[in-house]
Structure 1
């Protein structure tokens, strides 16, 4: 009887640990690790999060870009596409123009380079972040910020943000509130749109994956 109770207790603990591991990836936190597969194969291995993303990659001809060496992918998730479809009036995905989907997905793909979390400047550093060119030649912006830990500011883990400047990369001003402390900027609309990254530094055999937060809307609409 004691042996049976021991086995049952171990099984419950194992199931709980497995569930927590999956939940950790889905809902946040910084997780690192080697994937032992390509970026594209990793997405295909997690259909509950990325099957719509894989469909878009295949439909737009961008899948091959995630099979090449030295690629960084800020991976949007299926939920991000759902947010996008709601934003454009509840359209079905298969009715969205292929060129629109290709241009949107290209913003998340950075070929020829491995971008690690620790290589991106902090928001409050002198650099304030970094410009980076995506697959279609569109300029995106990356920065990092440090969370609090036990109530101590800037003592916690570092998180990535990816920004779409919507063509305003020549303007270094990023506004986080409707009214800034500079009078000349008070009536200026902020074109920058950002998304947080919930999981970073996943090392594939051919590149790096950073997973975008579920609150993000695909294609960075205003």
Structure 2
């Protein structure tokens, strides 16, 4: 893993082309990943630096590394692709509003990294079979279920039963996770799908989100507002 002190935005941006041409299979094809990994969740991230070295660095900055090493967890793993997109979005807004931009991961306060990384971490080790069905066109019948993430953010998790040859619910099954910005509006969600599920580690389960998960933390605007407020209070 790259040294945190040297991990800069330039490196994240430089990887953009590689993400586009090298990683599609991992993002889009459920089942490519080996379901068993000898090691904890952090070991898994470190074993695949091409996809997760930024996420592993954020876990350390957020003081969540020990949780992902030692506690029994389910981790819906975002990829470095989503962090790169988020920082580009955030920096455009910071620049337009006269603030310093993010030049390294350390520029973002650890409390902010913790807030957004915790959206993806859940108590217990849950595989696809442990989650209920969800049908986004028929939520009244198949609503998935609300789960609270590590720091008590409500999230919806469910399994999409896809169609096969026009027959509903008999096709392949795919996990989804949704951020619920406002619990009083429980269907105003930001949803991402899982590309590779049921990766069993020594201390839990990893489900890797696909390339449709564009922004780490789900809501790029809220992340940007938090960073801007932090920079404003520090005089940056």
- Counterpart of 1:120 (choices 131, 154, 162) is 131
Task: Please state which structure has a larger fraction of its residues in helix.
Answer: 2
How far is the alpha carbon of 1:99 from its aligned partner? 1.3
Q: Pairwise mapping of residues 138-149 of structure 1 onto structure 2 (< 5 A)?
A: 138-149=153-164
SS at match of 1:65: helix
Runs of 4+ in 1 over 6 A off after TM superposition: none
**Per-residue deviation, residues 8-50 of structure 1 (Å, max 9, x unmatched):** xxxxxxxxxxxxxx86434322356111211110000000000
Q: Which residue of 2 aligns with 1:96?
A: 108
The answer for unaligned runs of 5 or more in structure 2 is: 1-22, 93-101, 222-236
How far is the alpha carbon of 1:79 from its aligned partner? 0.3
Q: If the length of structure 1 is used for normalisation, what is the TM-score? A: 0.74
Asked if 1:154 is matched to 2:154, the reply is no
Q: If the length of structure 2 is used for normalisation, what is the TM-score? A: 0.70
Whether the 8 Å CA contact 2:61–2:106 is kept in 1: the answer is no
Q: Alignment RMSD, CA only?
A: 2.1
Whether the 8 Å CA contact 1:143–1:162 is kept in 2: the answer is yes
SS at match of 1:107: helix
Q: Pairwise mapping of residues 128-207 of structure 1 onto structure 2 (< 5 A)?
A: 128-150=143-165, 152-168=167-183, 170-172=184-186, 174=187, 190=188, 192-207=189-204
Q: Which residue of 2 aligns with 1:35?
A: 37
Structure label with greater radius of gyration: 1
Q: Pairwise mapping of residues 6-45 of structure 1 onto structure 2 (< 5 A)?
A: 24-31=25-32, 33-45=35-47
Q: How many residues align?
A: 182
